[in-house]
Amino acid sequence: MSTIRKRKQTDGTIRYHSQVRKKGFPCLNKSFSTEDEAILWGKEMEDSMTPNIGFMTLNQTISRYKMEGLPKKSKNQQNDEVPHLKYWGENLGEYLLKDITPMEVEICADLLYKKISKHTGLPLTSETRRKFLMTLSFMLNTACIDWKWMNYNPVYAVDKHDYKMKKKSKEDPKYKENVSDIKQPFIDMIRDEMESKGITSIEELSKITKIAGKTARRLLDPNLNSSLDSMKRLAEGLDIKFKIVRD
């Protein structure tokens, strides 16, 4: 709502200061020579702050969600959602809410498969894609239900590519080939060092590096996904200089 304050200037003249504050919008201020002008301007600004359904952009939605929704969540949840919100803002931020269709969302979601994980060095999985969609969906639900900025949530009609797809992808020869290409140089380095040190078994390797035998076996299997940080720990246990280069 608008607040009118009467103020006396240093030259003795009277000015009427109108301030308009409304949740989810920036604070507006302006001074007038008459009280009627200040009241009229305040009312016009208040009316302009009632958005038509769908005519806010996704970037505006993200900004309000960061102010009102995100702070209510745990620090871990906030850390997870911030990069998700950044991604949606970069890809759909300029779109009006009314123009965001399930197809637009699905196209952007599928682009995530072309990104490389900073932790594994491998393409992002369907599980990561699902988490990005969950963040977007929760925010748009808030826009629909709490703010009345939308009539429906387009994420509901998007294929989530759930856990089944993730499981099938690991059985795909192309997936194994991709994993193998990334891990094999590191595995060769570790195998060569094991041979030079006379280490002939996983059990012996486990004792020297202090890494569980089951984990060591997984790290040395080129067809299984592994964290590059775990590969680094295994290499360092053998006194191998190991550097991870990430984009």
How high does pLDDT run on average in the chain? 81
pLDDT at 246 over 50: no
pLDDT in the model for residue 20 = 85
* Winning range, highest mean pLDDT, from 108-122, 142-156, 182-196: 142-156
Residue 44 maps to a domain: yes
- Cα 209 from chain centroid (whole Å): 35
Structural domains counted in the chain: 3
Average pLDDT rounded to a whole number, residues 77-95 = 94
> Is there a single domain that holds both residue 96 and residue 13?
no
> Is there a single domain that holds both residue 24 and residue 96?
no
> Is there a single domain that holds both residue 90 and residue 165?
yes
- Burial class from Cβ neighbours inside 10 Å (0-12, 13-18, 19+) for residue 118 reads exposed
Residue 246 maps to a domain: no
Instruction: Name the pTM for this structure.
Output: 0.51
Beta strands 14-20 and 2-8, pairing class: antiparallel
Average pLDDT rounded to a whole number, residues 66-70 = 89
147-179 pLDDT, tens per residue? 888 888 999 999 888 654 444 444 554 444 445
Final residue of a domain: which of 126, 154, 169? 169
